[in-house]
């Protein structure tokens, strides 16, 4: 099974490294030529606890592929393309490249946070070929070619939810999904197939919509978030409004979501959320596809979400001026 991973942030580097360490045939496509060169020259270092290993994974850059209009794109013919870039990077040129990579035989596994990306991707890739992945694995990118596995978690994969509620039940699709599940488990990621991906995606969205913006605004690590009563009150208000928006959209939510939020904070106590990292670096965040997505669902259902609205505006205000406008 041939795998191409697009995106060399923390999740992309972690998944690529673990798959390569388990013997998978995997190639990494980075955003920049500089990162691809670093990986090809020095290898990809995976740090787990006190142990570090260097994996030699072929890397190419989207920067070069895009500059040549796709003429420089190697003919990988992957069975799977793993998409680990953030939603803000889902540009038309990138999606056209993915379409060319998949051709007719491949499937796309999307690791994006938030919701709304499937509709965008589905304009370039047949919806029946799109699968979703939700993972609670923890990772931190320390350099262009080094990633630290900061915490073990669980991964779920399954068909992307279509508007008509249908999924791809063809035998070849089911076989492909089982092969990917097997590859992920062999790589050390406890992975399960699910036909309830809409609920799983929303449940993770609700957790992210609490932790990410608050840690970004308060400039604290995940473990510090529940430390005071005022912070916990904000967390609970965001979660309550998010659950109301989800249920108003016909999504079932778990009864133990509050406990899950606290568990994530504890398990990733030393981590800086991706939104905090973006705000600290002066980059655009994923607020549109996290709290913004909850606000959109709340408006459609005529459900009040004042805390999400305030948090959304504060994070937008913290972004660079050129990125702040919606």
Show the 3-state SS of 239-251: HHHHHHHHHHCCC
Predicted confidence at residue 322, as pLDDT, reads: 56
Residues 6+ apart with CB under 8 A from 16: 5, 8, 26, 28, 44, 55, 57
Closest Cα partner for 72 from 92, 100, 95?
100
Question: How is residue 162 annotated by DSSP?
Answer: P
Predicted confidence at residue 326, as pLDDT, reads: 43
Determine the Cα–Cα distance for residues 127 and 107; give it in Å rounded to an integer: 10
Question: How is residue 210 annotated by DSSP?
Answer: H
pLDDT in tens, 3-42: 999 999 999 999 999 999 999 999 999 999 999 999 999 9
Residues 6+ apart with CB under 8 A from 130: 107, 108, 110, 118, 121, 122, 159, 160
Instruction: Give the DSSP H or E segment for 44.
Output: strand 44-48
CA dihedral angle for residue 117, residue 122, residue 124, residue 126, rounded to 10 degrees: 140
Q: Which two tokens stand for residue 221?
A: 């690590």
Give 10-residue mean pLDDT values along the chain (326 residues).
95 98 96 96 96 96 79 77 94 92 88 92 92 92 94 92 53 86 97 94 96 97 97 98 97 94 91 91 93 97 98 93 54
How many helices (DSSP H) and strands (DSSP E) are in the chain? 13, 12
Domain boundaries, the chain: 2-195, 198-320
Helix (H, G, I), strand (E, B) or coil at 75: coil
Determine the Cα–Cα distance for residues 325 and 44; give it in Å rounded to an integer: 37
Length of the chain equals 326
Predicted confidence at residue 165, as pLDDT, reads: 45
Instruction: Give the angle subtended at the CA of 123 by the CAs of 175 and 30, to the nearest 5°.
Output: 75
Fold of 2-195: Rossmann fold (3.40.50)
Predicted confidence at residue 70, as pLDDT, reads: 56
DSSP-assigned beta bridge partners for residue 130: 108
Cβ-contact 241, 304 below 8 angstroms: yes
Indicate the pTM of the whole model: 0.88
Cβ-contact 147, 13 below 8 angstroms: yes
Instruction: Write down the CATH number for the domain with range 198-320.
Output: 1.10.1040.10
């Amino acid at each position: 099974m041939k795998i191409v991973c697009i995106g060399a942030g923390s999740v992309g580097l972690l998944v690529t490294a673990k798959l390569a360490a388990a013997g998978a045939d995997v190639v990494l496509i980075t955003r920049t030529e500089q990162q691809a060169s670093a990986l090809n020259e020095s290898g990809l270092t995976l740090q787990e606890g006190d142990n570090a290993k260097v994996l030699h994974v072929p890397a190419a850059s989207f920067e070069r592929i895009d500059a040549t209009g796709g003429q420089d794109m190697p003919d990988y013919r992957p069975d799977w393309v793993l998409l680990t870039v953030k939603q803000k990077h889902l540009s038309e040129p990138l999606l056209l490249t993915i379409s060319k990579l998949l051709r007719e035989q491949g499937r796309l596994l999307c690791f994006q946070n938030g919701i709304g990306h499937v509709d965008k991707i589905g304009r370039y890739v047949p919806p029946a070929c799109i699968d979703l992945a939700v993972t609670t694995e923890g990772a931190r990118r320390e350099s262009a070619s080094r990633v630290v596995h900061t915490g073990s978690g669980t991964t779920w994969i399954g068909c992307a939810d279509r508007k008509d509620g249908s999924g791809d039940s063809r035998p070849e699709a089911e076989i492909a999904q089982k092969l990917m599940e097997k590859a992920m488990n062999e790589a050390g990621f406890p992975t399960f197939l699910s036909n309830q991906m809409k609920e799983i995606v929303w449940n993770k969205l609700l957790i992210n919509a609490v932790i990410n913006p608050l840690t970004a605004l308060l400039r604290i690590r995940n473990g510090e978030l529940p430390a005071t009563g005022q912070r916990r009150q904000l967390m609970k208000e965001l979660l309550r409004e998010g659950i109301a928006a989800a249920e108003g959209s016909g999504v079932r939510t778990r009864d133990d979501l509050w406990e899950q939020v606290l568990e994530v904070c504890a398990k990733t106590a030393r981590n800086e959320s991706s939104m905090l990292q973006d705000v600290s670096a002066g980059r655009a965040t994923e607020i549109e596809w996290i709290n913004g997505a909850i606000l959109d669902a709340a408006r459609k259902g005529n459900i009040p979400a004042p805390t999400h609205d305030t948090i959304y505006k504060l994070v937008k205000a913290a972004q660079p001026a050129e990125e702040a406008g919606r």
